[in-house]
Amino acid sequence: MSAGTPKSLPSSGQKSIQDICHPLSAEESVLTPSPDAANNTTSSSIGHKDLSLPNGNAVDTSSPASSSSLLNRLQLDDDLDGETRDLFVTVDDPKKHVSAMETYITYRVSTKTTRTEFDLPEYSVRRRYQDFDWLRNKLEDSQPTHLIPPLPEKFVMKGVVDRFSEEFVETRRKALDKFLKRVADHPVLSFNEHFNVFLSAKDLNKRQGLALLSKMGESVKYVTGGYKLRARPIEFATMGDYLDMFTQKLGTIDRIAQRIIKEQSEYLVELREYGPLYSSWASSEQELQEPLDGVAGCVGNCCSALEELTEDMSDEFLPVLREYVLYIESMKNVLKKRDQVQAEYEAKLEAVAFREEKRTTVPTDVEKCQDRVECFNADLKADWERWQNNKRQDFRQLLTGMADKNIQYYEKCLAAWESLIPLLQDKQEAKAETN
């Protein structure tokens, strides 16, 4: 489902993306370097910034992105075999805190690692939602060329959802856990110093690391809106079209799913009233008492099975749809940043041509801007492939689970009604013998 690969950027002097050798790309076989591209990459100060950690160590680009866990019986042909991971993060144990000023929930964030960037092999800290939000903002600022996983939405409609209910807190915990796992699995984001601080610091000082913004981040952040991109390269235009289509499809599925849940909930109300009527009837019908009680029991079993199915759709199906709606927004933001950097590059080229000065070499600032475009393209392409792999695995797991839940629902209903048949047959045979 990934987009096609463009032949070149529609800018004068821009190299083909296929000629760019970027070590952080997920598929090095696709990005075959040419000698010129390799030389430009080596001479780029921006490229060097992106290939080193805040502490000066080189990024380990050999670690593949890990896949989401699947149902035991589901095996994907694109799973990574023999994958080694050195950073494990979990979010659990939500606790409610009440003070005179506010009421809030904290979650335990547990980390196990063998990385040398951490002073200890294990950490356990407590974080609240705004701490996760701080981390995501820092990742966006310091890693502007990468797709940052989304967080669950902070605000809920008052009177509709109780944000301190067990169901809501558990749903949010799962989303926060998935957010950290996606960051920990990323070969670049997982080495971010803000992420290290978030996982290891007992008291999170949110003013830490303000000077860690890379030159790349500052460049992207402060690009003015005066530049207008001539044309988005075919690969990234295809990405944008796909995201628009995917948003539309997810929106339609979400609306229908919510309507189904509403109708199932209304049906449950009727079933809960329907079953006891047979029990009430049975109390006044001595001859039909057992069959009527049996029907009441069947309706009760079907009611319980439908309630489980409805809860599963609300707790498992809808949150995944919402996560990917937010993921799409994040991807569109990265695409816009990429367009800004390319627009700046095109504007610089036009300015040089307009001066009509005889130059034997391209100005340094134009070369640096070109390097930023190439770096952005390679990072975005790698993250796009990683996102597509995660999406494919998540939805296979989701749809397989949904199929299993529906099969279980109908099997329970079938078993309930089949258990009633022998009782009715026995009554019929007993009546025939009496006659």
Could you tell me the CATH number of the domain that includes residue 400? 1.20.1270.60
The answer to whether residue 76 scores a pLDDT higher than 80 is: no
The answer to whether residue 276 scores a pLDDT higher than 60 is: yes
Write the CA distances from 171 to 164, 260, 309, integer angstroms. Answer: 11, 20, 17
The answer to whether residue 340 scores a pLDDT higher than 70 is: yes
Predicted pLDDT at 359 = 56
The answer to whether residue 218 scores a pLDDT higher than 60 is: no
If pLDDT is split at 50, 70 and 90, which confidence band does 361 have? Answer: low
> How many folded domains does the chain comprise?
1
Average pLDDT, integer, range 355-368: 66
If pLDDT is split at 50, 70 and 90, which confidence band does 274 have? Answer: very high
If pLDDT is split at 50, 70 and 90, which confidence band does 369 have? Answer: confident
Among 233-237, 367-371, 402-406, 424-428, which range has the highest average pLDDT? 402-406
Q: Where is average pLDDT lowest: 77-81, 232-236, 388-392, 399-403?
A: 77-81
Please report, as a single letter, which amino acid is at residue 375: C
What is the domain extent for residue 254? 247-423
In this structure, what are the phi and psi dihedrals at residue 147, rounded to the nearest 5 degrees?
-80, 120
Average pLDDT, integer, range 294-309: 94
The answer to whether residue 305 scores a pLDDT higher than 90 is: yes
The answer to whether residue 306 scores a pLDDT higher than 80 is: yes
Has residue 291 been placed in a domain? yes
Average pLDDT, integer, range 15-34: 37
What does pLDDT average to over the chain? Answer: 77
Has residue 142 been placed in a domain? no
Predicted pLDDT at 172 = 92
If pLDDT is split at 50, 70 and 90, which confidence band does 226 have? Answer: low
If pLDDT is split at 50, 70 and 90, which confidence band does 407 have? Answer: very high
If pLDDT is split at 50, 70 and 90, which confidence band does 146 have? Answer: very high
Predicted pLDDT at 227 = 58
The answer to whether residue 57 scores a pLDDT higher than 50 is: no
Task: Tell me the C-alpha distance between 389 and 304, whole Å.
Answer: 36
Give the pTM: 0.70
SS3 content of the chain, % helix, strand, coil (to 5): 60, 5, 35
The answer to whether residue 123 scores a pLDDT higher than 70 is: yes
Average pLDDT, integer, range 189-216: 73
215: nearest Cα among 143, 138, 147, 134: 143
Q: DSSP H helical segments within 201-317, as ranges?
A: 215-221, 234-282, 289-312
Q: Which two tokens stand for residue 212?
A: 């860690």
Per DSSP, the residues of 83-106 read: ----EEEEEEEEEEEE-SS-EEEE
Please report, as a single letter, which amino acid is at residue 394: D
- Does residue 301 come out as left (phi exceeding 0), alpha (psi in the -120 to 50 range) or beta? alpha
Predicted pLDDT at 194 = 94
Task: Tell me the C-alpha distance between 167 and 163, whole Å.
Answer: 9
If pLDDT is split at 50, 70 and 90, which confidence band does 430 have? Answer: low
